[in-house]
Amino acid sequence: MKFMKQASSIRKRLVITVSNNLVTDNRVAKLVHYFDSEGMEVFVLGRNWPGGALPANRKGQLRRFKLWVNKGPLFYALLNLRMFFWLLGHRFDLVLAVDMDTLPAAWLGARLKRRPVFMDSHEFFSESPELQHRPGVKRIWRNLEKFLLPRLNGGFTVSPGIVDLYQRLFGVDFDLLRNVPRRPADLLPLRELGAHPVVYYQGALNVGRGLKEAIRAMTLLPGYKLHIAGSGDEEDVLRELVKELKLEEHVVFLGRLPFEELRAEAAKAHVGLCLLESMGLNYYHSLPNRLFDYPALGLPIIATNFPDMGRLVQEYNTGLLLDSMEAEVIAAAIRRACEDRVLRLQWGKALPRIVAELNWEKEAKVLTKLLNYSK
């Protein structure tokens, strides 16, 4: 009897595999918090680059690998090898791979130990902008998708468009798990305009995010400021552009911040940017977390009019949609979003609605499918 009680008290162990350093990944933190609250023991495997301390109050047991290289094919190979051997040497009951870049290790480790494996797909990996002009590399990832996705026990992804693509291309049924925030205890109200309206962006500084065009738009908006929170492959290029246009007093790079610190920065702003270029199906069907985060931060949105993003902004009346990425068009939208008082009154009433209806507490219920595998 004593042995039975001890055995029943052992918590099921979930391993989540991630290719980033975990500092800014709010979605993974929400996943860990959810499964921890459901009584699971959660381990998260990531990488220790570009470094940065993790806040002490994060849930889960975090393991960040230090690798010899941090980009390119060798990086992905080394990361998956480290994660695979970690899985071989540790007990676990389920694995959840975040995106395709850690799925090979997660799938093989789970298969060898006869454990279920799921994927949380934040993007349609083979359709990411970085691969659109690299057909050989894109073909490798597409073949991995074709082989691995039908062999999963289940999966989740961030937009209706990607759910549909996975079904049509690979014959797999992924559940929709949008990247919505936790419902905050209090909402930030829209800010009154001062002498220097602030335009805000948070997220990766990668190709196709509309940031070059947004910076050029600032040349048409004297008195306005652009605050950029994040880092990425395009950061050096963006900083050089700011210098070239002599916008150092108007464009502020806040750097890579833990997501816990973003609220304080957003509280200084008046409108948020969510611009994407047409660079493959991944962006075309994207539903970035910014679309959901900005309303809770008291920010109306200027977004690209792609199908999934456009439907959301229109349904909840959270901002303006653009069909062009020209600097003049972006500048005009920024000015209208900040200075049209009638629109801002409408948005002030509309933003709380989307926060009330689309939040993590409601969205996370779909994760019970994974929980059922742990029973």
For 172-228, write each residue's pLDDT tens digit: 999 999 999 999 888 888 988 888 999 999 999 999 999 999 999 999 999 999 999
Kindly report whether the global pTM for this prediction surpasses the value 0.85. yes
List the one residue out of 67, 75, 82 whose CA is nearest residue 15.
82
- pLDDT higher than threshold 70 for residue 298: yes
- Per-residue pLDDT band at 310 (split at 50, 70, 90): very high
- pLDDT higher than threshold 60 for residue 5: no
Whole-number Å distance between alpha carbons of 119 and 94: 11
Contacts of residue 7, Cβ cutoff 8 Å, sequence gap at least 6? none
Mean pLDDT of all residues in 65-77: 92
120 with 39: CB under 8 angstroms?
no
Q: How far, in Å, are 122, 148, 286, 367, 373 from residue 61 at the CA level?
A: 22, 27, 30, 20, 21
- The whole-number pLDDT of residue 18 equals 97
Mean pLDDT of all residues in 130-143: 91
- Per-residue pLDDT band at 87 (split at 50, 70, 90): very high
For 23-36, write each residue's pLDDT tens digit: 889 999 999 999 99
- The whole-number pLDDT of residue 55 equals 83
pLDDT mean across residues, the chain: 93
3-state secondary structure of 74: helix
- Per-residue pLDDT band at 375 (split at 50, 70, 90): low
For 141-174, write each residue's pLDDT tens digit: 999 999 999 999 999 999 999 999 999 999 999 9
- The whole-number pLDDT of residue 1 equals 39
